[in-house]
Chains A and B, each alone.
Chain A
Amino acid sequence: MANNSTASDISTHRLEQHEYENNFSDIHPLLDGYQASVEASRCYFCHDAPCVVACPTSIDIPLFIRQIASTNNTGAAKTIFQQNIMGGMCARVCPTETLCEEVCVRNEAGGKPVKIGFLQRFATDGYMETGDHPFQRASSTGKKVAVVGAGPAGMACAHRLSALGHDITIFEGRAKSGGLNEYGIASYKAVDDFAQKEIDFILSIGGIELKTGSYLGQGLDLDTLRSDYDAVFLGLGQGGSNNLRLDGEDTDGVINAIDYIAQLRQADDLSQLSVGRRIIVIGGGMTAIDVAVQTKLLGAEEVTIVYRRGISQMGASKYEQDLAQTNGVNIVYWAMPVELVEQDGRIGVVRFERTSLDNDGKLNSTGDGFDLASDMVFKAIGQVFLSDVFAKNQAPELTRGRIRVDDNRQTSLGDVWAGGDCIDGGDDLTVAAVEDGKVAAMAIDKFLTSGEV
């Protein structure tokens, strides 16, 4: 029976068990060998291929696809891992429609790009299933590097440095490593505990010690790391969430999307996870899409994303917007929240005003508005780097609130490098974080072996 439309409705067990399993199954199942062969044969093996240029980690895409086409799957996987040790996760979470696949020449010839992401997953999953590791460590250099944060940037950096013969210690605050791969991305993009499998795969190179439960700023400080290790890499991510700057943000039912997604990712039984009947998501990025789609899949009846700008300004790609709408999520553009209205001690209604851009490109309220009733309001308006993890006088220089680095990802401190979401200019993508970690590792290696920076 439908609930009274004004009363708050938060509940577990909205669906049958099999519906949870179906809803949170793999969004893009693995290609089989024949599908991969057919898809691989669509690649033109372009010269100086645009897809390689578009890949933040510069994977030699035409080469690995040709290796798949010739049934050399091991070679294909090695081509990928050489440039991107998290090629498996990137195959799942990269917005390929705005990276490699966007520039595929097949968009012009036949209208559809080669499914590069699917092929990459075919190669990397096939290889990882063997239990082998594609690289051997170089002989030991005797140098020690501390890596803070076991997200994509930290893991990629640690792996490359270990391969180059250095001994690595990773300090991770949370109970599990993987960063947003483990706690952040939508569940249906990385099923079967893939994030942890990938961590195990990376660590299997050896030479990397992982210390979980070690937060920077909580018994661990940068100066100590700098004195105990020959170099330090910071892959700290962004620990804080942006606020709406409205009264009542601490009202029950107003939730940081990123926290809820983490809860969802760690849930053993999704039917035990409470979800509202009417959901509002505020924001326009991938996190907004991820929380909106997943609450819908948990059984929420009405899920509405409200974004203050238009389709083309939305951080989430067209593909992601389509995914949300296909799953029954309503997206309202050009509106911003102006009031959180509490009812019976919980969020009840969000009051919105419509927006438009003036001639100077500034966003203004039109004065016109509407109310949306809601059981849960998710804030997905971005994350923020928490610089208070650094003890006094120990912080590297920041720009726009994040760590400033040069092209080699070196900070203002000569023996400290950084990458991923914590750096200024960070791209908010797993693949970009992996590249940061890799680039920093190469620079650190040079610093450790030749003293050059």
Chain B
Amino acid sequence: MADLRNDFLGIKSPNPFWLASAPPTDRETNVVRAYKAGWGGVVWKTLGEEPHVVNVNGPRYGAIHSNDRQLIGFNNIELISDRPLEVNLREIKKVKREWPDRALVVSLMVPVTEESWKTIVPLVEETGADGIELNFGCPHGMSERGMGSSIGQDPEYIENIARWCKQSTSMPVIVKLTPNITDIRQPALAALKGGADGVALINTINSIIGIDLDTMSPNPNIDGQGSHGGYCGPAVKPIALNMVAEIARNADTAALPISGIGGVSTWRDAVEFMTLGAGNVQVCTAAMTYGFKIVEELIDGMSDWMDDKGYTTTDDFMGAAVKNVVDWKYLNMNYVVKAVIDQDKCIKCGRCHIVCEDTSHQAITLERNGERYFEVKDDECVGCNLCASVCPVEGCIDMVQLTGGIDPRTNQPVSTEYANWTTHSNNPNAV
């Protein structure tokens, strides 16, 4: 039985699954329900200064669905906690006292003044919470007031605020990063310089979820109008994975502990974040889609997978994929693959043929002896993986490596030597 116990910046939790700072962690009732369901920790919904904010009274959420109404992407225009600060602090203190084995981190967002931060941080410390997370991420609402992502887009602010917080508390300080930026390494580096103990990413991506074509209003529709909101859910996972990897594989930021966030819905998603260097993961949309019970699947799935692989603790695989994420220029140009279609599995839908014919390299047949028959023409196939990507049947099309002989497309011998773009004859800057 794998050991899922987690230690992130010294904050201990029975498993690496935390609920992210968001509606599910807004109050004692929800947080206690989450702990009872088995969540390892929570990041309490972001606290701000008094007077506390108010939310719109119209809809706050919008969604993109598949045809069978599976939720693919989700966005929100909810602000930070709209409850009095004093009430939140009292509940946090109580919950932490009653659930000492679970992680309880408090998310914060106040204006960019030293006084504001140095006032609120000690109030949190007094609750006995395990740490604070600085919300520099929300792209909607609060950003118009100079907070949230408007801080996360300015490394100088990040560094300063992280420093003020570190000066005010002995609790670990986590900086939550916004993805609404060109190079995620810059704010991560700023957090590190400011003395932050770790980063959490990604916050939501700025978005308009869709337009109602009858009213011409963006969704969610507030009396005929809409505003940009934060996008999350399964659709954003690839963006989050890349940003986590960028920080983990960059020498200047590699030492920074990462709490991985962005579309984690299954144990597999969580493992992927952790192989790219995340020390734990935070979940929101999946819980908001299905309720807290999903944590059972997260725990079981990760544990079973670890048992299968012979991993005893999460440290055994944490960061295991980081070294394999490289710049394009280091990819092996001598790695030659061809698509191979398993004729026993092929259902003859013809999708591979038409996408290759229309949009790629005309490398798949349509028929043989007057019958539908889809076969790869090795002399045309560039091994792009499009056919395998669109094939409805899992495992029907494989990309198979040529390990010798002549590549029938290029008529060149297949080399077993590693060679990349940096030395390629077509590269004007070849070394």
* Contact stretch, chosen from A34-42, A163-171, A401-409: A34-42
When chains A and B are docked, how far (Å) is the Cα of A44 from the Cα of B351?
8
**Does A109 have its Cβ within 8 Å of any Cβ on chain B?**
yes
Instruction: Indicate whether A105 reaches chain B with its CB closer than 8 angstroms.
Output: yes
Does A48 lie at the interface of the complex (its beta carbon under 8 Å from any beta carbon of B)? yes
Complex CA gap A256/B76 in Å reads 68
Q: How far is the CB of A8 from chain B (nearest CB, A)?
A: 55
Whether the Cβ atoms of B351 and A40 lie closer than 8 Å is: no
- In the bound complex, do residue B372 and residue A45 qualify as a contact, i.e. CB atoms below 8 Å apart? no
Q: Which residues of A contact B350 (CB under 8 A)?
A: 46-49
Chain A residues in 8 Å Cβ range of B393: 109
Looking at the assembled complex, report how far the CB atom of B18 sits from the nearest CB atom of chain A, in whole angstroms.
Answer: 34
| Contact between chains at B349 and A38 (CB < 8 Å) | no
Q: Any chain A CB within 8 A of the CB of B57?
A: no
Q: Separation in Å of the A88 CB from the closest CB of chain B?
A: 23
A116 at the interface (CB under 8 A from B): no
Q: A32 in the interface, Cβ–Cβ < 8 Å? A: no
Chain A nearest CB: distance from B394 CB in Å? 10
Q: Mask for A22-55, Cβ within 8 A of B = 1, else 0? A: 0000000000001001101100111111100000
Answer whether residue B309 sits at the interface, using C-beta atoms and an 8 A cutoff.
no
A47 touches B351 (CB 8 A): yes
B67 and A46 within 8 A (CB): no
B410 to chain A, nearest CB (A): 28
CA distance A69 to B65 in the complex (A): 12
Docked complex Cα distance between A316 and B393 (Å):
33
Please name the residue on chain B nearest to A41 by beta carbon: B67
B372 touches A50 (CB 8 A): yes
Q: Are B366 and A48 in contact (CB under 8 A)?
A: yes
Please determine whether A47 and B349 come into contact, CB atoms closer than 8 angstroms: yes
Give chain A residues whose Cβ lies under 8 Å from the Cβ of B366: 47-48
Q: Does B66 contact A (CB under 8 A)?
A: yes
The digit string for A49-73, where 1 denotes a CB below 8 A from any CB of B, is 1100000000000000000010000
| Per-residue contact bits, chain B 154-192, to A (CB 8 Å; 1 contact, 0 not) | 000000000000000000000000000000000000000
Chain B contacts with A in 41-78, Cβ cutoff 8 A: 66-69
Residue pair B66, A41 in contact (C-beta under 8 Å) = yes
- Is B347 located at the chain interface by the 8 A CB criterion? yes
Given contacts A37-B67, A40-B67, contact A45 B351 (CB under 8 A): yes
List of A residues within 8 angstroms of B69 by Cβ: 34
Which of B66, B67, B347 is close to A108, meaning CB atoms less than 8 Å apart? B347
Which listed residue (B67, B68, B354, B392) contacts A47, Cβ 8 A? Answer: B354
Tell yes or no: B353 within 8 A of A by CB: yes
For residue B348, CB closer than 8 A to chain A, the reply is yes
Complex interface bits, B329-357 against A, C-beta within 8 A gives 1, otherwise 0: 00000000000000000011111011000
Q: Are A37 and B68 in contact (CB under 8 A)?
A: yes
Instruction: Please give, as numbers and ranges, the residues of chain A lying within 8 Å of B349 by CB-CB distance.
Output: 44, 46-47, 105, 109
> Is there an interface contact between A69 and B67, defined as CB atoms closer than 8 Å?
yes
Chain A residues close to B by CB (< 8 Å): 34, 37-38, 40-41, 44-50, 69, 105-106, 108-109
A-B CB contact pairs (8 Å), 9 listed: A38-B67, A44-B349, A46-B348, A47-B350, A47-B366, A48-B354, A48-B366, A48-B372, A109-B347
Using A38-B68, A48-B354 as known contacts, list a sample of 15 further A-B pairs with CB atoms less than 8 Å apart, ordered by residue number in A. A34-B69, A41-B66, A41-B67, A41-B68, A44-B351, A45-B351, A46-B348, A46-B350, A47-B353, A47-B354, A47-B366, A48-B350, A48-B366, A105-B348, A108-B348
